[in-house]
Amino acid sequence: MATVNIGNLTFTHKGDYASGTTYAKNDVVYYSTNGNAYIAKQATQGNAPTSTAHWDVFAAGSGGIWNAGLSLGSAGQSVKVNSAGNALEFGTVSGYTDNDVKTLLTGASSYPVFACRGWANVTGGTAAIRASGNCSSITDVGVGHYRFNFTTAMNDINYVVTGASAENWSGSTDSHNDHAGFGLRRKLFTTSMFEFETRGQWSNTDHEMVCVATFR
């Protein structure tokens, strides 16, 4: 049975370019003169990789990716650029870990850290949002009655809601808000929204400043 040589079907890494080496089509070399990697268009010897008749750019400015191969690193290491900025290597990548973030948030204490899952600073009465996170909108259901709509829904309804409100936030004097209250609507509490109320002395009241947050 006759054998037909169809050549390389994939590229072959050949390391640094050497003028005395014979290269086959699809061989890839690193050319240190300009830091590029090149792939042979045909069999060639003695033709520099910058010869467009014999080579195509494989990776511009690839540095040491192709020049000597990359030895396998150790468990837990990552591929990174070396200190000279001209090759890749395995090593420990500096950056923040989960423990680093926890330390920054808690001052190196052992207290657990739990994320705020949604929050909003709202103008009572109009339900206009001053600022928010994971809150698609606030619905003004009625006097002192609002619906917080999550952008990304919660996984369950076992989250915590906390809030506060102030009746006279923009006034010229410091209002002590003796009768400002905050409450939840028991049957209107789902993974996608919850409803809450701001109260005055005897009934629901639209307060000028309404703040609400959820934790899970």
In sequence order, the 6+-apart residues with CB closer than 8 A to the CB of 114 are: 215, 216
**pLDDT below 70 — which residues of the chain?**
1-9, 61-72, 86, 95-99, 102, 104, 106-109, 168-180, 186
pLDDT (tens digit, 9 = 90+) per residue, 9-56? 577 888 889 999 999 998 988 888 888 888 999 999 999 999 999 999
Three-class secondary structure of residue 152 per DSSP: coil
Three-class secondary structure of residue 26 per DSSP: coil
Alpha carbon distances (Å) from 168 to 95, 97, 141, 172, 215: 45, 43, 21, 9, 27
Structural domains for the chain: 12-72 (2.10.10.20), 116-215 (2.60.40)
pLDDT the model gives residue 64: 47
pLDDT the model gives residue 83: 78
pTM: 0.51
